[in-house]
Chains A and B, each alone.
Chain A
Amino acid sequence: MKDPNKISERDVTPEAVYFSRRTLIRAGVLAAGAVATGVAYRHLNPVGQGKVNTPVIQGLVKPKTTEAGNGFRVDEPETSFQDITHYNNFYEFSTDKEGVAPAAEGFDTKGWQVTVEGLVNKPKVFDLDDLLKLSPREERIYRMRCVEAWSMVIPWVGFSLSRLLNVVEPLSSAKYVAFQTLLDPRRMPGQRSDVLDWPYVEGLRMDEAMHPLAILASGIYGHELPPPDGAPIRLVVPWKYGFKGIKSIVKIKLVAEQPRTTWSADAPNEYGFYANVNPQVDHPRWSQATEQRIGEAGRRPTLMFNGYEEQVGHLYAGMDLRMNF
């Protein structure tokens, strides 16, 4: 029951004013709610953030068009610098592909060294500058096919891994090359969670590692390699799924046995050691027959060995690629 002695605001305010005030409050609540939802959505769904700015590389050697048969350049539209640097699988920084660039901003690579050891005549710890002086830095325009069925065309700067291997002189007992990423949870925040077994390890068979298409890349688009793409130096093996291209390498070890590689150890039925791009062998959970080329509207059919069959097919002659996926 209403107490007749108590007068509410409603009783004294003229009805028209009261209702217009209520309408105003409601409009305010509606607007504030909409803005809050919008802000929350933006916050939970950020894209294209993080600044990427690295110096220009001097004295770059451009690939000759006449050498197209060697696979050193592909004549397909190059993916934009923005997309190459803001859509990355680099769990050391973030498991969100759009979140790597902001998380890797300011990643410090000063004093970077790469240890080359194992079954070699001349093991050596290289300062990055010395390593980059081993060979002229060339531009290589490669397709990059991620195991998640998206792809890019990337103008890398790098040189064949074989140049480095020849310098350290592998022993005949060396059958595989194992690579290792920096382990430093302070600089790589993603390593503070155990989403993968750190440090990241990848590997190649010796003949794969010696193939001229396999490169150590230290740049893209004529610039030093940006942190989200694996600064300062990474592996690129264009006929294999992207996860084989290990980033921010600190150690290269020549070994006799097939190394235990990170993704293959994490889910052996889903990621093989070879991981050659193969449209006929599906990932257990999704098809590998087509791919989303970043920057394009439709999907492209995926090519055998990512379009490098002519160059690398012979490495796998007689091998069951369904078993050795």
Chain B
Amino acid sequence: MKENDIRFIKLLILVNGAIPLALLIWDQSHNRLGANPQNFLILTTGMMTLIFLILTMAVTPLRKVTGWNWLIQFRRMLGLYAFFYGCLHFLCFFSLDRAFSVTGTLTEMLKRKYLILGSTALIVMIPLAITSTNGMIKRLGGKRWRALHRLAYVAAICGVIHYYMQVKADTRQPLVFAAVLAVLLGYRLAVYWQQRKPPAPTPAAKPKVAA
């Protein structure tokens, strides 16, 4: 794919990722967030965080399955959007639910398991966002950078459980997220096991092919 096209697709993702936020602001200013706008803002920003986390984690499997290596170019932007919506989610909770009270936020966060999980998800995304630049990738080295960015799995798992734990009885939606996440993680586990397999028992029999 041409550099020019990549830039265009990046623009496409940038614009589309901002649309939920634009509509939230538009609806808020027109009083169209329903009866409980506070709750709607918290819920929607949380949902967007999960959606972007899932999209980010779908890049590698999709790329391997389809062979479309250019997909990797978009992963950073998707991941940064996940972090962006995660921060908005926290800010909504902090301002609308906790009325900007730092102690109120901290005590509540430590008291509730679902909030501990949610905070964990957001906190582990901080180093990932910081080290998302090309300069940081170079400085860390690919191997270390990749190891660090496996924290994205932690963020996604904590995030989905965090969502599941607040639902009263209708768990269908969080379970859909969990199922998609399970597929994406399952793919990685399968790849991992395949690569971990010891070399074939009779290596001598296999003539080495120059790579």
* A interface residues (Cβ-Cβ under 8 A, vs B): 26, 29-30, 33-34, 37-38, 41-42, 45, 47-48, 82-83, 86-87, 91, 95, 97-98, 148, 150, 195-196, 266-267, 285-287, 292, 294-295, 298-299
Contacts and interface: CB of A to CB of B under 8 A. Distances in A.
B165 to A, nearest CB: 7
Given A91-B170, A95-B169, A285-B112, A83 B35 contact: yes
Contact of A48 (B19, B34, B44, B165): B34
Q: Which of the listed residues A148, A266, A267, A286 has the most CB atoms from chain B within 10 Å of its own CB?
A: A286
Interface residues of B, number: 30
Contacts of B111: 287
Interface residue SS majority, chain B: helix
Contact of A195 (B23, B32, B113, B169): B169
Contacts of B8: 26
A42 B34 contact: no
A298 B97 CA distance: 8
B170 A95 contact: yes
B175 to A, nearest CB: 12
B20 A41 contact: yes
B169 A87 contact: no
Contacts, number: 73
A45 B165 contact: no
A179 B78 CA distance: 51
Given A41-B19, A95-B169, A195-B170, A30 B11 contact: yes
12 contacts: A26-B8, A29-B12, A33-B15, A33-B16, A47-B35, A48-B32, A48-B35, A97-B35, A98-B34, A195-B169, A287-B111, A292-B97
Given A37-B19, A95-B169, 18 more contacts: A34-B15, A41-B23, A47-B32, A48-B32, A48-B34, A48-B35, A83-B35, A87-B34, A95-B170, A97-B35, A148-B168, A267-B169, A285-B112, A286-B112, A286-B166, A287-B108, A287-B111, A292-B39
